[in-house]
Amino acid sequence: MAPNPSTQVGTATLTYGDKSATLPVLGGTLGTDCVDVRKIQGDLNVFTFDPSYGATASCESAITYIDGDEGVLLHRGYPIDQLAEKSTFLEVAHLLLFGELPTGPQLEKFTQGVMRHTMLHEQIRRFWDGFRRDAHPMAMLCSVVGAMSAFYPDSINTHDERQREIAAYRLIAKMPTITAWAHKYTAGQPFMYPRNDMGYAENFLYMFGAVPTEDFRPNPVLTRAMDRILILHADHEQNASTSTVRLAGSTGTNPFACIAAGIASLWGPAHGGANEAVLKMLGEIGSVKNIPSFIEQVKDKNSNVKLMGFGHRVYKNFDPRAKIMQKTCYEVLGELGIKDEPLLDLAIELEKIALNDEYFVKRKLYPNVDFYSGIILKAMGFPTSMFTPIFALARTVGWISQWKEMIEDPSNRIGRPRQIYTGAATRDYTPIDQRG
């Protein structure tokens, strides 16, 4: 599905000194119009200044649309709640990659294409022997994914459409294996090889939880919950890690290196580590009886205490993913019969209080997807160190879709942000014996 290019919807005039520039204003299918400032250096000899790119559109994309004020998240036009409730992760992966939900035959072909790539080159297996047992799983993911370019050189030519497609299949297929093996290595358990007779999420849960001495088939309710978690984290527009993938990809480097760069960006606690921070916060609160005093500290501007898992930089309304994750959370807790887990009871009580406290309601600080995903993953038996790797597993399809779209965009150029230089002015070199 070819994207609709942006169209000029008006003009804006920028005056600097005695010069003026007429700038095109571009509009997309949905969302805020953008002033095209690409020519202001030539016309006015100035640049724009936008630290963290909060007011800058870095690309045109037809993949994901977010309206933070209204709490809307669309993938190729489809609302996230419909996809999470009615679709599967591989259907959504097909949608992100190719622009349309697959027909029955297309889904079968796509599924077979992914599942035939689930195994890793056997020499990659030896990589884990070089890691410390207490290494963070994200360090393993960065290393192994980046090294895949050395093992699959037949799919690193970014100018070859077929090689790009094969690389996409490989990355989507092998990430569950890499992620599960990172856990197995840390746990000191044997690696479990993928089972291509299982579904995508089911296969990941199998490799994570199975041992050679026993038969193991993942619980269908937990499998569906994992599938939803993957869908809800599949893509989220031009966030930090996606922008990293695009910036790395703009140089022409291979897709495996680009995704490794995305994993490194996601590792940060302000990005992929947010659900870990939620559980850390709950652990510090300690007990339901401590919630009122904790809430008061949050309201105190001088305390530096934050309510993790509430609010979102993009969403100024309820995170649309959080509603589905909330429902999934209660399904998982009910299926596992968890009623007296202190940390989970604490989270549920904190949610109830915050949703009814005028301070948080007025500021639209609703629970976000990270608040519930951490609870679900803990209930399913995942250690907190695996939360961000699971996020990376889900986001890989978004990264590779964004990378593929960028590579196929004829206007793509190497990324090169500008700066305001604030260092020393030009000065002459001083010999070392004259420096005071």
- Which residues are catalytic, by number? 312, 370
268: left (phi over 0), alpha (psi -120 to 50) or beta: beta
Token couple for 9 = 């919807």
Token pair 């689930």 is found at 118
Any residues with CB less than 8 A from the CB of 251 and at least 6 apart, and which?
414, 415
User: Nearest-CA neighbor of 38 among 25, 52, 51?
Assistant: 25
Q: What is the DSSP string of 85-152?
A: HH--HHHHHHHHHHSSPPPHHHHHHHHHHHHTT-SPPGGGGGGGGGS-TTS-HHHHHHHHHHHHHHH-
User: Nearest-CA neighbor of 182 among 245, 263, 280, 286?
Assistant: 263
Do 62 and 1 touch, CB atoms closer than 8 A? yes
Token couple for 115 = 């599942």
Any residues with CB less than 8 A from the CB of 407 and at least 6 apart, and which?
158, 164, 249
